[in-house]
Amino acid sequence: MNAQTLALLFRPAKDQSSVLLLPVVAFAIVTALVMTVVGGAQSFWAWTDPEAPIYQALAAIALVLLVVPLMNLGGAAARLSARRRDERLSTLRLLGVTPAGVTVMTVIESVLVAATGAFIGALGHLAISPLIGMIPFRGAPLGMSAVLLSPINGAAVVLLVLLLAAASAVLGLRRVIISPLGVRLRTTASPVHWLRVVAGVAVLAGIFVMMKVFPSVADLAVTIVVLAALFGVALAVLNVIGPWVLKVEASRHLRRAQQPAGLLAARMVLDSPKASWRQVSGVAMTSFIAVFAGTGVSLLNVMSAGDLNDADAALAADIGTGLTITLIASFLMVAASVGVNQAASVLDQRDLHSSLHRLGMPMETVHTARRRAIMSPLLTVSIGSALCAGVLVFPLLGMALMTAPESLLTIGIVLVLGIGIVWSSTQATRPLLARAFQEG
């Protein structure tokens, strides 16, 4: 097989340039947000006064709360249009290309796509840095020079994005290399075992114990590192448990379905619980962050109720600014994650939608089923994620701050806005579904 033939096989099909464009957009968003978040956090480490450790602790926690979901979005970006890629790669395997050859070609393709997006994202970070530098902390703007990443740190972020793309590409090849014919015939399943939830609950229980014990036996610097790491692990655990929860809920809906849309929605989730989880994981992560934000708002009100000196008043104002920035960044992440994943889902299932159209199923039924497949598990994972965060916050701040009216109001607003973003994204991608039906 010559190079020209391979190039033809890897060329996007007619009218499917969006399949290639979506990962580029996703990687651009990931790179820009990661650079901006890291750049904003780095400015706090330049301070050396007695109050600096407090700011550095809050920055470290916010950094983990945002960067871990962003890396999850990066992994999703690397898997975008995976169904399309699997079919092309399985064709190569059936034509005799070795597993090593398929691996090299896939890694090169994924890295090139990620590099294009990362370059655009780096330019985006450079463009918005002046705006980020205008945010005031300690009574003065941070300044563009404080939040702009150095060339070395910027290159490190880009390298991390490329490594993430390459690793996701290699992991995604296992089905193709093991059974190329199964991929072509869509006979391979996406298993989600109940051991996921057992392992996840065990890890969360261990984190709860460490949250209870560790801050009282370690100094501030070690406590900051450990708490930030524990929050990161907890967010990762949510990604392990989430697909199993969606599988169980979809199985229950499948048994009770009484209309075609409900039956089709449950089948969509069961076809790939992991893919369904990626559709709602952004809101789940934001719900996790909302608990910390809501508790922080309650803490600020308690602080403001007392007599504060100038330093404490400035700290309270800065905490409020940090909470606002964290929530805004998390909503940008949700909007990017949901929008890109839903558009990719419609594009990757274009053949299925065309087949349903030829079988006589109305587009409105498919759209309703797609909306249910996303919205139905959304509230479950959002509340579950918030409860997990509550378990972790409880040893640190107690139940009174968690259940204060200000805290519950903040959490409720975040949940409503997150669900609204998902619903809006579902409506926004409806024209893509209509186009697939027209092609059918």
Range ranked top by mean pLDDT from 219-228, 300-309, 342-351: 342-351
Q: At 127, which helix (H) or strand (E)?
A: helix 99-133
The CA distance from 95 to 101, in Å, is: 12
Per-residue pLDDT, 132: 85
Per-residue pLDDT for 188 more than 60? no
Token pair for 306: 């007392």
Per-residue pLDDT for 39 more than 80? yes
Per-residue pLDDT, 225: 66
Cβ atoms 9, 95 nearer than 8 A: no
The CA distance from 76 to 418, in Å, is: 19
Range ranked top by mean pLDDT from 142-146, 174-178, 219-223, 303-307: 142-146
The CA distance from 143 to 308, in Å, is: 27
| Nearest residue to 97 via CA among 13, 187, 176 | 176
Q: Read off the pLDDT of each residue in 67-72 and give the average, rounded to a whole number.
A: 70
Per-residue pLDDT, 119: 92
Relative orientation angle of helices 405-428 and 273-305, to the nearest 10 degrees: 150
The CA distance from 344 to 108, in Å, is: 21
3-state secondary structure 190-247: CCCCCHHHHHHHHHHHHHHHHHHHHHHCCCHHHHHHHHHHHHHHHHHHHHHHHHHHHH
Tens digit of pLDDT for each residue in 128-166?
Answer: 888 888 888 877 788 887 788 888 888 998 998 888 888
Q: How confident is the model at residue 122 (pLDDT cuts 50, 70, 90)?
A: very high
Helices (H), 134-193: 144-147, 151-171, 174-178, 180-184
Angle at the Cα of 284 from the Cα atoms of 426 and 247, rounded to 5 degrees: 80
Q: How confident is the model at residue 184 (pLDDT cuts 50, 70, 90)?
A: very low
Q: Please tell me the chain's helix, strand, coil percentages from 3-state DSSP, rounded to the nearest 5.
A: 85, 0, 15
The CA distance from 53 to 63, in Å, is: 15
What average pLDDT is seen over the chain?
A: 75
Instruction: Please tell me which residue, 20 or 392, carries the higher pLDDT value.
Output: 392
Per-residue pLDDT for 439 more than 80? no
Tens digit of pLDDT for each residue in 196-238?
Answer: 777 777 877 777 777 666 555 555 556 666 767 777 777 778 8
Instruction: Please tell me which residue, 198 or 15, carries the higher pLDDT value.
Output: 198
Q: Calculate what percentage of the chain has a pLDDT beyond 70.
A: 73
Q: Read off the pLDDT of each residue in 352-371 and give the average, rounded to a whole number.
A: 80
Tens digit of pLDDT for each residue in 74-107?
Answer: 766 666 644 456 566 666 667 676 767 767 777 7
Tens digit of pLDDT for each residue in 124-138?
Answer: 999 988 888 888 887
Instruction: Please tell me which residue, 328 or 300, carries the higher pLDDT value.
Output: 328
Q: Read off the pLDDT of each residue in 241-270 and give the average, rounded to a whole number.
A: 84
Tens digit of pLDDT for each residue in 368-402?
Answer: 888 888 888 888 888 888 888 887 777 766 666 66
Per-residue pLDDT, 383: 84
Per-residue pLDDT, 376: 80
Per-residue pLDDT, 4: 57
Per-residue pLDDT, 164: 81
